[in-house]
Amino acid sequence: MKSYTEWQNEQPQQAVAQQSTKKWKATKQEVMQFWQKLQPNMPLAMQPIPYEHEGSTYQQDGIRVTGSKEFIISTIARLKEFIQYERPQTKLQVVFRQTDKTGTAAENKVTYVFYIQAKDRGPTQQKTGIKPPVVPKPSIKSPSPAVSSV
């Protein structure tokens, strides 16, 4: 009978697959070194969410900033380059709102969240940059009581 080690050595694909399932994560030192080397004038590389996309946009390009209103405002003031995505081909999806309280009573502070993502516009908006008019749906009239003439 083969030992486990002998059997494992005969299975190189599985050993490689097991090693590659661990998700990549940089250390703080690696992040700090990388961040220091970045040029401040690097162009944005945001990929807009496709027009046909449905469901969660969690794994799409975007930014989430949380904290006090003052912190968020001072942070997004440095992110004005994203405004260029509001154009005939793409639109910005932005949210700035107060968050629900999830902490203890001792942490009774008001916090906010700001999200920004770009999304492709639909075919009509791409050509003209103007949204088509909204056509109201026909209203459903409720039956009115019969009017009797006396």
Find the mean pLDDT for residues 126-148: 52
Tokens at 23, concatenated: 């998700």
Per residue in 38-95, pLDDT (tens digit) is: 998 899 999 999 999 999 998 999 999 999 999 999 999 999 999 999 999 999 999 9
User: What pLDDT does residue 20 have?
Assistant: 66
CA distance 43 to 27: 25
Q: Which residues in the chain belong to E strands, given as ranges?
A: 63-67, 90-98, 112-120
User: Domains of the chain: which residue ranges?
Assistant: 59-128
Tokens at 128, concatenated: 């003209």
Find the mean pLDDT for residues 31-41: 93
Per residue in 114-123, pLDDT (tens digit) is: 999 999 998 8
Higher pLDDT, 13 or 24: 24
Give the strand order in the sheet containing 90-98.
Answer: 63-67, 112-120, 90-98
